[in-house]
Structure 1
């Protein structure tokens, strides 16, 4: 089922919800997708939603601003993970629970960290698809994914003209039916400040693909969050979420809280 939220700066965001037991007393789970994806592509297709629902969880997945069914302005001022974290707070208001678990992947993991540092309703956190870059450069690893090259790939007239190093993001955006100008605006506004990792005090699981160039040395991130656990699974940035172990690790970790 799809519903809408109105943001503080006038955008309309879409989110989806799933449940087999709407009266469940377990904390709801909020899923935050990665750059150029959307809720269905990142979470429903790989089976993460089904795995959680089968465990009796109510699940909510937000299409971030500029992505999926949400509004897609082309102005950079509407973007950045800090604004997206503020949007998560609005979704938590709508969910109306005192305790919520949050799972974020890639861009969504950065958003999840920012939201968890701000909002006491988040009682358990899973980050996926980020590693040492979250500690060393403040979010997605811009050393591997230079924003200017990603923007160039997204705005090139033809995919063949996109910089080879970042062409995969253009391919993903086209495959997902993304608005490339909106995505370019987000990547130009990507979070570059230090993440408030020292303010994460809830149980946290750091998930990473063994061959993910955007999540190298995930143990550095796990060490920067008090008490965080680490799980490394087979796959790269685009494939690890489809490994059965990914959904299994998420559901098992959240079931402990």
Structure 2
């Protein structure tokens, strides 16, 4: 069973979340232009994690899904997505938890860890080292997508991103502001983390740099490779299976 609820962030933006399962809390954050349903529920990943004994809490990031989508840039301050997740944990009175995210969700996990989040274990998925340390590179790609809607060459990465935007019904004006909230995470900061961090990435996914380099930099990092590229890996059951293995296996 999927439960839906929402709360107001400090700036008044409505943040929605879905949850399923009972047990240890797991905050699971979706990727850019997606939402909880597409990233985690539709293809069975949330169900697999719930079956493994987790209370899976899946927010829709601001500007995404059924959360608020304001167009005023004042609602997209730097690191606002991490702010929202800290607020959600506080709203739910959760202090002992695990943490995971895909793509932008993985980047948000990194920002939370950089700012003092202390989960038992973390998953950074659909993300490589460069996607955390040099966020402007990916930001430029998406600015091009939004600034030239309807003009991208068929089959190009920008065209595929626009096609995904259409399938999720995303709001381009709100989503473009998200890009201004990105904050780089320094490699030295990443290397300082002492908790087990699983890097779960599609074997053909190079959109955000090298997942292997990220795993190698982490003190207790482990690479879990799954089939697919950045888009298709989400549709594979192996993604959920890898998340379960990362959270329930022996620590490394």
TM-score when scaled to structure 1? Answer: 0.87
2:234 partner SS? helix
Q: After alignment, is 178-187 or 165-174 more displaced?
A: 165-174
Structure 2 gaps, min length 5: none
Q: What is the aligned counterpart of 2:85 among 65, 72, 88?
A: 88
Corresponding residue for residue 103 of structure 1: 100
| Residue 167 (structure 2) pairs with residue 175 (structure 1) | yes
What's the CA shift for 1:75? Answer: 2.9
Corresponding residue for residue 191 of structure 2: 198
Corresponding residue for residue 2 of structure 1: 4
Corresponding residue for residue 11 of structure 1: 13
Corresponding residue for residue 64 of structure 2: 67
Structure 1 gaps, min length 5: none
Aligned positions of 1:192-231 closer than 5 A:
192=184, 194=186, 196-231=189-224
| Residue 30 (structure 2) pairs with residue 28 (structure 1) | no
What's the CA shift for 1:6? Answer: 1.3
Q: Confirm or deny: 8 A CA contact 2:202 2:226 kept in the other structure.
A: yes
Distance 2:56 2:202 in 1: 24
Closer/same/farther in 2, CA of residues 120 and 186 from structure 1, 3 Å limit = closer
Corresponding residue for residue 113 of structure 2: 116
Closer/same/farther in 2, CA of residues 126 and 151 from structure 1, 3 Å limit = same
Distance 2:206 2:59 in 1: 25
Aligned length: 245
What's the CA shift for 1:10? Answer: 1.8
Distance 2:145 2:94 in 1: 41
- RMSD over aligned CA atoms reads 2.1
